[in-house]
Structure 1
């Protein structure tokens, strides 16, 4: 999703336990993104996110710290120090109820199924790896802020697992594809691979608005509700 020149900036909080990474990411993000806060562990992340209510939280899945007592409404527990795989998911579970308009986008060096599935089930709207460029991260931020789900292409199988789709429970591919026009099938494959509307438009020599129209038609015909579900659908049918 590409922002218009007069659109307000997307407000973002960066959560990562490495200050150098936070600084580098902040410098690489597009000018249309405003970093309104940073945090380095679970407790500080919950505090900053609930205080600033950003549009998007860029969050690592491995964070040190334990539950924040003031937000969770219970006594603090856990130890500080080593980053744990559940740290990012814990932040989402604790903070999300207090900031319903905020979306969470995982940004991690890890591409393990356990990490991907865990943070998605906690409520993350996307998961991209730290090998992504500043441009890619910026596009993902705008997409998530706009309501889309975004995943690095090679993580599509883990997304499928997160939705509990089991091999053997997939409907006949030919019959479903027959519902889509040739152009809709082209758009479907690119969108399911994680391409932004602008990238699809460039590849197919059509306008982003036309891409949006095709995506809406694809989701309607396949009875899906989001790009997230489309990725799972296409992966299950080995269409990517």
Structure 2
């Protein structure tokens, strides 16, 4: 097998360094040809280096992984493996619909990540069992994707974060601590989310999110 040329796209420098160190321990199988921390630098690096696989963070400044996929020409031979701390259905389904070949979460081990990169480069689709279930449900019609996208488009990225934590049962104080914002700001975001989704309570929000596999 020839050496796999990989680009790492993530807005956290320490994470990129960790991934690079892990993958370079298998230098006979992987060569890191580029790193990028946002959408613009990612698109430029991909155009210049034309890597075999891009390890693509879903949430980044400037539009995230979705924007990278939109801006890379469809004629490019590069394959994309999405990588994120999020295992929410809308993130998984959205990035796959945009063109990623697989989706793994950041708790993946080094050997598992190397295997995933090689598998997507070889044409396989790679997901953890839980995430694969989201994709299968989407194609089976169990998750109403159009409705999910339309509703979520009404929310800002921060409102989505707050919504998911509230739906998981976090108290306002816990949400504030998790996101490094004030309790008052959490209350404001929750009110906005409920208004935009036309819901009247946390209970309805939890049921709404659970029905759409967002938690």
- Provide the TM-score with structure 2 as the length reference: 0.62
Question: Of 16, 30, 33, which aligns to 1:36?
Answer: 33
Q: What secondary structure does 2:74 align onto?
A: helix
Shift of 1:93: 1.5
Measure the CA separation in 1 of the matches of 2:98 and 2:48. Answer: 20
Tell me how large the CA RMSD over aligned residues is: 1.2
Closer, same or farther: CA 162–48 of 1 in aligned 2, 3 Å = farther
Q: What are the superposed Cα offsets for residues 104-126 of structure 1, whole Å, 9 maximum, x if unpaired?
A: 00011100011001100100000
Measure the CA separation in 1 of the matches of 2:30 and 2:99. Answer: 22
The answer to whether 1:54 aligns with 2:51 is yes
Q: What secondary structure does 2:18 align onto?
A: helix
Q: Residue 10 of structure 2 aligns with which residue? A: 16
Question: Of 74, 92, 110, which aligns to 1:134?
Answer: 110
Larger helix percent: 2
Measure the CA separation in 1 of the matches of 2:93 and 2:20. Answer: 26
Question: Of 144, 147, 166, which aligns to 2:141?
Answer: 166
Aligned length: 139
Q: What are the superposed Cα offsets for residues 115-160 of structure 1, whole Å, 9 maximum, x if unpaired?
A: 0011001000000000000100000000000010000111122111
Q: Moved runs in structure 1, 4+ residues, more than 2 A?
A: none
Closer, same or farther: CA 162–50 of 1 in aligned 2, 3 Å = farther
Closer, same or farther: CA 56–96 of 1 in aligned 2, 3 Å = farther
Give unmatched runs, 5+ long, in structure 2: 143-215
TM alignment of 1:1-240, pairs within 5 A? 7-29=1-23, 30-31=26-27, 32-65=29-62, 86-99=63-76, 101-163=77-139, 165-167=140-142
Q: What secondary structure does 1:97 align onto?
A: coil
- Residues 50, 98 of structure 1: 8 Å contact kept: no
Give unmatched runs, 5+ long, in structure 1: 1-6, 66-85, 168-240
- Provide the TM-score with structure 1 as the length reference: 0.56
Shift of 1:96: 4.0
